[in-house]
Amino acid sequence: MDNTRFVDLLATGSRALGVTLGADVGPLLQRLMAELLKWNAKVNLTAITAPEEVLEKHFLDSLAVLPEVTGAASLLDLGAGAGFPGLPLKIVLPALGVTLVDTVGKKVAFIKAASASLGLQGVRGLHARAEGQPEVEGIPRAELLIARAFMDLPDWLALAPAYVEPGGRVVAMLGKAQTDAELEARAAERQLRVVSARAYRLPFSGAERQVVVFAKQ
């Protein structure tokens, strides 16, 4: 994908999602894509390898939740994979402290290498397994906890509160939208409340998505 097409698709996609990006974001995302595809040719980081799909399903999908993330001081991305949504969110919100956790060492190695290559400050990649004991696991709590299709929602809501600072929030990035009643029921099972729920579609494929924010009662 040439630079012009990348810039055009990023602008079109972000407008469709209602997201405003600074002029410096595009070049950094292009560099992140180049690093991802270079690494992926040697080690399997992602099944999504077509540049247009990387742009939509990794970058734009990550940036779609900017309204839910903006204003937080710290973000913990559990099951971060190759760094999504944490790395694109960090690029757009440079003051955000980001910790990205995954159980696969080569993915954490990529996160560290890509962050260094892009000059991102305040990014930490952790090779760890989240099982509900953050102190034992060496995983820091954060103001905002996020995951993208990490596990089924009931399992996520059982695990997530242990990793959130007092007064913090849990963000779930889901596929097909669940009803308000379903979300309220899931939250009540874990003494949580639904702060917001927003359904949207990815701008090019039309794939359904939902982002839900939870807080402790």
Residue 3 has a pLDDT of 85
Residue 139 has a pLDDT of 98
Q: Does 114 reside within a domain?
A: yes
Residue 151 has a pLDDT of 85
Q: How far is CA 201 from the centre of its chain?
A: 16
Residue 115 has a pLDDT of 98
CA distances from 19 to 1, 68, 86 (A): 22, 11, 16
Residue 18 has a pLDDT of 96
- The reply, when asked if residue 79 is annotated as ligand binding, is yes
The CATH number of the domain holding residue 103 is 3.40.50.150
Residue 49 has a pLDDT of 87
Q: Does 51 reside within a domain?
A: no
Expressed as residue numbers, the domain containing 93 is 61-216
Q: Does 55 reside within a domain?
A: no
- Would you say 201 and 208 are in contact if contact means Cβ atoms under 8 Å apart? yes
- The reply, when asked if residue 131 is annotated as ligand binding, is yes
- Would you say 47 and 149 are in contact if contact means Cβ atoms under 8 Å apart? no
Q: Does 42 reside within a domain?
A: no
Q: Does 152 reside within a domain?
A: yes
Residue 22 has a pLDDT of 92
3-class secondary-structure state, position 124: strand
Supply φ then ψ for residue 55, to 5 degrees: -60, -45
How many domains does one find in the chain? 1
How many residues can be counted in the chain?
A: 217
- The reply, when asked if residue 193 is annotated as ligand binding, is no
Q: pLDDT tens for the chain, 217 residues: list them.
A: 888 899 999 999 999 999 999 999 999 999 999 999 999 999 989 888 899 999 999 999 999 999 999 999 999 999 999 999 999 999 999 999 999 999 999 999 999 999 999 999 999 999 999 999 999 999 999 999 999 977 899 999 999 999 999 999 999 999 989 999 999 999 999 999 999 999 999 999 999 999 999 998 8
